[in-house]
Amino acid sequence: MKEQLVTKKILKWYDLNKRSLPWRKNVSLHKRQYYTLVSEFMLQQTQVATVIPYFIRFIKNVPDLKSLSKVKNKQLFKLWEGLGYYSRARNLKKTAQIVIKNFKKKLPDNFEDLISLPGIGNYTASAILAIAFNKPYIPLDGNIERVLKRYLYLKKDKDIKKDNLLQKKSIFGISSRSSDYAQALMELGALICKPNDPICNECPIIKKCKSYQKKDYDLTKKTKKNKNKYFILKVYKKNQKYLLIKNTKFNFLKNLTIFPMEELSKPKNFDENLNFKMSNMNMNIKIKYLKNTKKFQSPYWINEKKLDNYMLPSFTKKIVKYLMRN
């Protein structure tokens, strides 16, 4: 496998500058595959610095696929608490159960089987194949995408579309060290080719970088519009206790414990008390205090003074803290 000059330069830089991350430990092949699976799920929409302590704690309590497939949801969500996007935790456990049952307790080493697993799309499958199995894939995450855009000076809307970027990434070549190379490209974007103020004088591929040649490092961003959604949050309080329910109604925080809520389609004169950003949604929340709890078959009461004793999503805890202050 012949390596291009750009490939060699990036790998040389990586060997000297890579961060010491807990999922990069020199462990057995079997553990590396498990570590990669867990870390990639955690890193979806979450920064590395945030993930590190959660990963360490998770691996300590759930050390392998077998234990992950059998972990109680209560413990799983407690370990995940604070990371958000709890669907990732549910999908991670489902993936472990399917691997144990259908793949002879071994993580699949091919693209088709990997993307058939819950929570694994094209990017995550590519990352697992490259990092865990040393296969010649370049997973196009935000960091690599940024390096690619600047290296080739991609500015036009048609140039920065995902399909085009997936084709253009071949400019980086391939390496027999596929695992290291995928991580090297990610690391280059994270440490050098930063979104703002890239450290160009330390970049190993500066001489061929078209953005550097033009002295134009600004990135064209595709604008994503968050949807505004409106909710009535119903508060039932009795003796310093709040009534909560299991969320089976909304797609966000599915099956987790929240306050009773009602979504409004086109509210008039909506004066919200709270605003949350969740995924691609702006949640505008108006609080309404109520008393009649008879319609709730299985209410769950929590004591505001013992908030830390409960396994709750951070969203619910923030609501409780707001209510305690107001």
CATH topology of domain 227-325: Nucleoside Triphosphate Pyrophosphohydrolase (3.90.79)
Could you say which of 3.10.110.10, 1.10.10.970, 1.10.340.30, 2.70.98.90 is the CATH number of the domain covering 5-214?
Answer: 1.10.340.30
- Domain range list for the chain: 5-214, 227-325
Q: 99: which DSSP letter?
A: H
Q: What is the pLDDT of residues 193-205, one digit of tens each?
A: 999 999 999 999 9
The token pair at 215 is: 């002295």
Residue type, position 308, single letter: D
Place of tokens 């793949």: 103
The answer to whether 5-214 and 227-325 have equal CATH topology is no
Burial class (CB in 10 A: 0-12, 13-18, 19+), 242: buried
Residues β-bridged to residue 290: 236
Q: Give the pLDDT band of residue 3 (cuts 50, 70, 90).
A: low
Place of tokens 């600004």: 218
Mean pLDDT of the chain: 92
Rg value, the chain, Cα: 23
Among 18-27, 157-166, 253-262, 275-284, whose mean pLDDT is lowest? 275-284
Q: What is the pLDDT of residues 253-281, one digit of tens each?
A: 888 899 999 999 878 778 888 888 887 78
The token pair at 271 is: 């004066």
Q: pLDDT value at position 118?
A: 94
Neighbours of 231 (CB within 10 A): 21
Q: Are 299 and 235 in contact (CB under 8 A)?
A: no
Return the active site residues: 40
Q: pLDDT value at position 145?
A: 95
Residues of the chain with pLDDT > 90, as a percent, come to: 74
Q: pLDDT value at position 292?
A: 86
